[in-house]
Amino acid sequence: MTLILDVVAPIVEKMVETGLRWFGYVERRLVVVVVRRIDQMEDSQITIDKSKHRKTIRETIKKDLEINELDQNMIYGRTLWCNLIHVANST
């Protein structure tokens, strides 16, 4: 059972790293690029089933930034950003 728990934590950390890497990539793009325009859309413009509150990517990234004590403006130093969000491999 301990072996499974040791593997799960690094997987979750790698998922956070991947999300933050994508966030940095999108935020560094020009505003006219499609992926950036979609990210900047108002929540009211996106229609989803309102019966359940689904956590948005924006909410997840905001939480991950807070947990890791990162500032959104750090993304502009690409090398620094990659070093800050990198999770070492468990092997």
pLDDT per position as a tens digit, 18-65 = 999 999 988 888 878 777 776 666 555 555 566 666 777 888 899 999
* 64, part of any domain: yes
Domain of 61, in residue numbers:
2-42+52-85
* 47, part of any domain: no
* 24, part of any domain: yes
pLDDT at residue 65 in the model: 94
* 61, part of any domain: yes
Q: Please determine, for residue 68, whether its predicted confidence score (pLDDT) is greater than 60.
A: yes
* 62, part of any domain: yes
* 78, part of any domain: yes
DSSP for 19-80 reads: HHHHHHHHHHS-TTSHHHHHHTS-GGGS---TTSPPPPHHHHHHHHHHHTT--GGGGGSHHH
pLDDT at residue 32 in the model: 80
* 91, part of any domain: no
∠ CA 35-39-42, rounded to 5° = 140
Number of domains the chain is built from: 1
DSSP assignment letter at 85 = H
Between 87 and 82, the more confident residue is 82
